Amino acid sequence: MVFLILSVLTCCVNTNQSSLNSSNIPEKELTLGIVQKEIKVGMSQADVISVLGSPNIVTRDSEGRETWVYDKIATEYFYTKESKGIGTGVGAGGIPGTTLVLGLIGGGYEKEKGKKIVTQKTLTIIIKFDKNSKVESFSYHATKF
């Protein structure tokens, strides 16, 4: 009796995606949603700082009213990785007893490719305070490219 073993492995695909943060320093997240939800006319400067943190720029007009500017820039890196591989193998056996013939043939192939996507986002917030240091008005502008 002859025993024959035949094995064939076909394509395998493995996709792995990861998002990398551009900064290793933890920072309070500042988003458009936080500004829209939390900042209200009449808020004190202390309340604004507790929500948004310290401003990047502070100016004062001729009447002593302050304007605060928050200008945030973020770079996001997104990397996709795709691996493809093909493997084959063949094994053979002989007659048990007096004669035993063994053979093995194998092969393999693997290919990786990936894609890196870089996105820039900016958020500018301008808050104007009245003479009593309360929010008089605020505006914002967000971009993504």
Number of residues written out for the chain: 145
Residue 6 vs residue 102, higher pLDDT: 102
In this structure, what DSSP letter does residue 36 have?
H
pLDDT tens track for 49-75: 999 999 999 999 999 999 999 999 989
User: Binning pLDDT at 50, 70 and 90, where does residue 106 land?
Assistant: low
CA–CA separation, 85 vs 104, rounded Å? 20
Q: Judge contact between 126 and 51, C-beta under 8 A.
A: no
Burial class (CB in 10 A: 0-12, 13-18, 19+), 138: buried
Q: Is the pLDDT of residue 84 over 90?
A: no
pLDDT tens track for 21-52: 444 444 567 889 999 999 999 999 999 999 99
CA–CA separation, 110 vs 87, rounded Å? 9
pLDDT tens track for 92-105: 555 555 555 555 56
Give the model's pLDDT for residue 68: 98
CA–CA separation, 51 vs 31, rounded Å? 11
Q: Give me the residue spans of the domains in the chain.
A: 4-20+40-144
Give the model's pLDDT for residue 86: 72
Helices (H), 60-103: none
Q: Judge contact between 95 and 2, C-beta under 8 A.
A: yes
Nearest one of 103, 122, 119, 139 to 30, comparing CA atoms: 122
Arithmetic mean of pLDDT, 123-134: 97
Percent of the chain exceeding pLDDT 90 equals 47
